[in-house]
A and B are shown apart, each in its own frame.
Chain A
Amino acid sequence: MKKVINVPEQVVEEMLQGMVLAHSQYVKRVDGFEVLVRANKPGAGKVALVSGGGSGHEPSHAGFVGRGMLDGAVAGAVFTSPTPDQVYEAVKAVDNGKGVLLIIKNYSGDVMNFEMAIEMANADGITVDKVIVNDDVAVENSTWTIGRRGIAGTVLVHKIAGAKAEAGAELEEVKRIADKVIHNVRSMGMALDSCTVPAAGKPSFVLEENEIEIGMGIHGEPGTHREVLRTADEITDHLVDKILADMPLAVGQEVAVLINGLGATPLMELYIVNRKVAALLKEKGLHIAKTYVGNYMTSLEMAGFSISILKLDSELKELLLAPADTPALVQF
């Protein structure tokens, strides 16, 4: 294992310290917890949004704490859901009396820990609701799953629900919008190479030279199948096909696109993928209203990427294009 770390046990702690130092105008630490919240808590009357999950997905999730997106983010151990007490602290720190919405990615551990936090917060009289993101179409066809996984599409949920909350909407409205995004976003990824969890010290899986894994999740967990490396255009074609097979779109439909790097993929390659995605969508008569290309939901140093497509209507489009000012996403 070759990593720029000090000791595996301290990676999350030291990362959080570094993040706060780098982005002190945006975020501050909840003392004693692996929780970052906005440096300036919004005034009363705003529903608060909290997301989180295992660490190793940076800039998710703390990178999206700021105006127009999240109010707080909880960082678990690498690829491990944060514990209920941590989520509970985040909820307490951001609550403004108007309720808190938890944005959870659909993994059994995350759902259980966040639900236990909701029980703890409810016992305190704090109104907390949740949405569960499940955008990954790779596992959709299996009757043995507990449902789809949540991957990069989660960032679009942060963005749009965040804009809605910033506009002063009530908790149930913010939840409705978040669920609408979840209902209309699909993603699928692939990996060229594995990643190494610091505490494990060795790669989570091994791919042969020239071999890729299709349907990769974001925790180094194996995908649906392996195949021989093909061109960027061919891989992109396959992923877009799978996404659109799951969510057929009519000619003239407006969409947003997120080309997400998993950590070790050069931006050059992400742009090459985006070029093909744009061409494919144009061929199908779809209009791209907004494109994001970059590392939004990574998987440590995994090489690979995911494509997310969000079906827009006027409401979602307006909220997507609304301003955001966070460490990892700034738009005006």
Chain B
Amino acid sequence: MSGDLYEVISAVGETIIGNRQMLTDLDAAIGDGDHGINMARGFEAVKAKLQTLETESDIGKVLKTVGMTLISSVGGAAGPLYGTAFLRAAAPSQGKTELDVETIGLMLEAAIAGIKERGKATTGEKTMLDALVPAYEAFQDGAKTGKSVIECLELACEAAKQGVEFTKTIIATKGRASYLGERSRGHQDPGATSSYIMLKALLEHLRR
């Protein structure tokens, strides 16, 4: 595995691990208070697994391993959802050792389709999709106007951030927070938040 790919995934993982408490606190307010704990456990497992992939340069294969590792270590709803997202993103990046704007767009599209299918969810239900779908749309807008990977990701991150803000204004209709109905309004969604901070970690790493 190329040093850079290893570092990108590590940076995303470290961000999740570093935000374990924040994500857990967000989840405690409207869910069952384990999102940060579960995601951190998953990315600790990913970190251990990455050590065994040192010679792998195929981005698709690495992402597939990340997805399978998340599925078998996170649990809850986040495990199947993020796991599926990484597995699906692995397909367009299969056999590639570098990513361009077009491929990243396809990866985001595939990941979102996987989350929608697995979670039987769509936007506006106070889930990770409320960060990821606007991020994808912004990314594609950037791609259409010929922007670079970093510029497109900047647009995506900004849109994801606004998506997280948007989740504060709506009530949950998927996941455990949906049981709260009106009481879920005013709280930001932990899943949308974890999606946003992962995108942000990716961007910040690439900017360096």
Query: Which A residues fall within an 8 A CB radius of B?
Result: 54, 76-86, 107-109, 112-113, 116, 139, 142, 144-146, 149, 197, 199-200, 204-205, 217, 219-222, 224
Contacts and interface: CB of A to CB of B under 8 A. Distances in A.
A200 B75 contact: no
Nearest to A78: B34
Given A112-B80, A112-B118, A220-B33, A144 B178 contact: yes
Nearest to A88: B72
Contacts of B71: 83-85, 116
Contact of A109 (B33, B37, B72, B79): B79
Contact of B77 (A85, A112, A205): A112
Interface string B67-80: 00001111111111
A205 B32 CA distance: 9
Contacts of B118: 112, 116
Interface residues of B, number: 33
Given A108-B176, A112-B81, A142-B178, A77 B75 contact: yes
B65 interface: no
B183 A144 contact: no
Contacts of A205: 28
B173 interface: yes
A179 B83 CA distance: 30
A139 B179 contact: yes
A145 B118 CA distance: 17
Interface of B: 24, 28, 31-34, 37-38, 41, 71-81, 118-119, 171-176, 178-181, 183
A57 to B, nearest CB: 12
B176 A81 contact: no
Nearest to A77: B75
B38, B79, B81, B172 interface centre (most CB from chain A within 10 Å): B79
9 contacts: A81-B77, A81-B79, A108-B176, A109-B79, A112-B80, A144-B171, A145-B173, A200-B34, A217-B176
B24, B72, B174, B176 interface centre (most CB from chain A within 10 Å): B176
Contacts of A112: 77, 80-81, 118-119
A90 B183 CA distance: 38
B179 A217 contact: yes
B176 A200 contact: no
A268 B79 CA distance: 40
A80, A217, A224 interface centre (most CB from chain B within 10 Å): A80
